[in-house]
Amino acid sequence: MRAALEEATVFVEKWSANVGLPVGNCPVRGVLDKISDKWSMLLVMTLASGPKRFNQLRREIPDISQKMLTQTLRDLQRDGMVSRQVFDTKPPSVEYRLTALGESVIVPFGYLIRWADENFADIDRSRAEFDQAA
Amino acid sequence: MRAALEEATVFVEKWSANVGLPVGNCPVRGVLDKISDKWSMLLVMTLASGPKRFNQLRREIPDISQKMLTQTLRDLQRDGMVSRQVFDTKPPSVEYRLTALGESVIVPFGYLIRWADENFADIDRSRAEFDQAA
DNA sequence: GGACAACGTCACCTCAAGGTAACCACCATG
DNA sequence: CATGGTGGTTACCTTGAGGTGACGTTGTCC
């Protein structure tokens, strides 16, 4: 799903312009990348309430696999959204926290979540209607 | 920005109540899942500038396959984001336009796009650093 | 000694999203 | 006649995101 957005530059210009944004490069590509994977947004929003350790995150998001937790955290770290700090305690503990960049994305995510929260009922209804018509 | 953050955190709290739940039980996650496919957002933003016909959309988004255009439009229609109107002209033409629901999602998308535009440079830099360190 | 909790890595497999290309009907134009 | 533009459908295939489960290392506790 990631690589294919790479070529959408042309229209991104178009609709970026519509939203009143400078054209240049395609910023949306990266964002859609993040949005469209299954766990990044969930992880960011979970870390929004404060730094957490690895198994603490596992407990708070029971349906994420260990592999995907590791992998998504690495990706977020790579993107500068999350910082990883290892404490040299007896069993070494690792703390993940949002960076300033990571915190800044909470705002647009928040809008999206609010939108979803306000409209999922309408969407469900629309789906039901549509499916019944078919 | 300050107000926006606080506003966002309200919904983050709501959200966190649902985080532990499987996707099926979290309506927000369900909705966001739909939004996060490869073409939905692009299509919505393309239709943001006005109603368009099928092949008009194909031309504006050259790298979408016919199949995926049809499919994504159907999904959006099913979710009540897009309405489809067939005109009984000589070669019947079909017009797609955003519904009120579809238009309402432009706002949160817009915030996301703005965020991406403001921060993609930082992200790129962070990635480069991270990759070099490894 | 055995279990468990800390934080992972690795190999393997599945499943569906998405791409490709062929096909349909209809009509206009050259 | 043939090409091209309407708006699709269908069958087939590839890709990779994500899940599963085993293994590992260092310690502590019972």
Write out which nucleotides of chain D lie closer than 7 A to a protein Cβ: 5-11, 16-22, 26-28
Cβ B63–A116 below 8 Å, yes or no? no
pLDDT at B127: 92
Determine the Cα–Cα distance for residues A56 and B20; give it in Å rounded to an integer.
12
pTM of the model: 0.86
Could you write out the DSSP letters of every residue in A9-73? HHHHHHHHHHTT---SS-HHHHHHHHHHSSSHHHHHHHHTTS-EEHHHHHHHSTTS-HHHHHHHH
Alpha helices in A61-105 (DSSP H): 66-78, 100-104
In terms of Cα–Cα distance, which of B42, B59, B17, B38 is closest to B113?
Answer: B42
Task: Using the predicted structure, report yes or no on whether residue A49 has a pLDDT greater than 70.
Answer: yes
Q: What distance in Å separates residue A40's CA from the closest CA in chain B?
A: 12
Convert the pLDDT of each residue in B95-113 to its tens digit.
999 999 999 999 898 888 8
Greatest mean pLDDT among A85-94, B52-61, B111-120 lies in B52-61
Q: What distance in Å separates residue B74's CA from the closest CA in chain A?
A: 10
Å between B44 CA and D18 C1'?
27
Cβ A7–B63 below 8 Å, yes or no? yes
Question: In chain B, how long is the greatest CA-to-CA distance?
Answer: 63
Greatest mean pLDDT among A84-93, A114-123, B83-92, B93-102 lies in B93-102
Q: Is B81 helix (H, G, I), strand (E, B) or coil?
A: coil
Q: Which residue among A31, A61, A123 places its CB closest to the CB of B116? A: A31
Closest B-chain CA to A62? B20
Tell me the CA distances in angstroms from B9 to A11, A67, B4, one per residue in order. Answer: 32, 29, 9
Element holding B41 (H helix, E strand): helix B40-47
